[in-house]
Amino acid sequence: MDKSKLVLPAIILTASIIVGGSILASQVIKQSSIEKQQTIKIAEDRRTEEAKNVKEQQAELEKRKAECQRLCDKRAMEDKEYWSGAMVFETYCKYDFVSAICYFSGGGKAIKDNYWERYIKNAETNQKLKIAWGADYVDKNERWTNYINDYWKEHEKIFGF
């Protein structure tokens, strides 16, 4: 057999392998590029979704805080009516986002018998959670402010907010 007859098929075979390898390599590179773009797009979509969720949660929290303030304003009006003819103490309002409870603090002092009462309530249920009262009226604001601050600190330890 003549060697010249084998040279042409060998060249064609070698050229086909080289061209095929080049095409395969470019397809592999193209596929990895597509996968990388998809990974980047998925990560961007995830970040966008997380940002959207954070915005929605923030909006829900603001809505709950506003509702809490509305409830506290309602409880403050009830306090004014209840303590009619007496001195009504300053009210406090706090929304605990961990337990989703709106707390209200209020109270008053009856002038004629020198009786006073302060309390912390669940503003939604109007249930009194902590109560302080007495007949000896001594520096009510400072004592109650310390009392309520201690209550919040104790609550923060329990619920971690």
Containing structural domain, residue 65:
56-159
List pLDDT tens digits, range 119-129. Answer: 778 888 878 77
88 pLDDT more than 60: yes
Residue 2 included in any domain: no
CA distance 94 to 89: 16
Please check whether residue 96 lies inside any domain of the structure: yes
- Name the amino acid, one letter, at 97: F
pLDDT at 160: 44
Bridge-based pairing of strands 101-110 and 127-134 is unpaired
Q: Say how far apart CA 46 and CA 69 lie, in whole Å.
A: 34
pTM beyond 0.75: no
The reply to whether 30 falls in a domain is no
Does 46 fall in a domain?
no
- Tell me if 39 is assigned to some domain: no
pLDDT tens for residues 27-45? 999 999 999 999 999 999 9
Domain count, the chain: 1
N-to-C CA span, the chain? 92
Asked if residue 82 is part of any domain, the answer here is yes
Residue 16, domain member (yes or no): no
Which region holds residue 48: left if phi is over 0, alpha if psi is between -120 and 50, else beta? Answer: alpha
Is 90 part of a structural domain of the chain? Answer: yes
Is residue 129 exposed (0-12), middle (13-18) or buried (19+ Cβ within 10 Å)? middle
d(CA 38, CA 106) in angstroms, rounded, equals 57
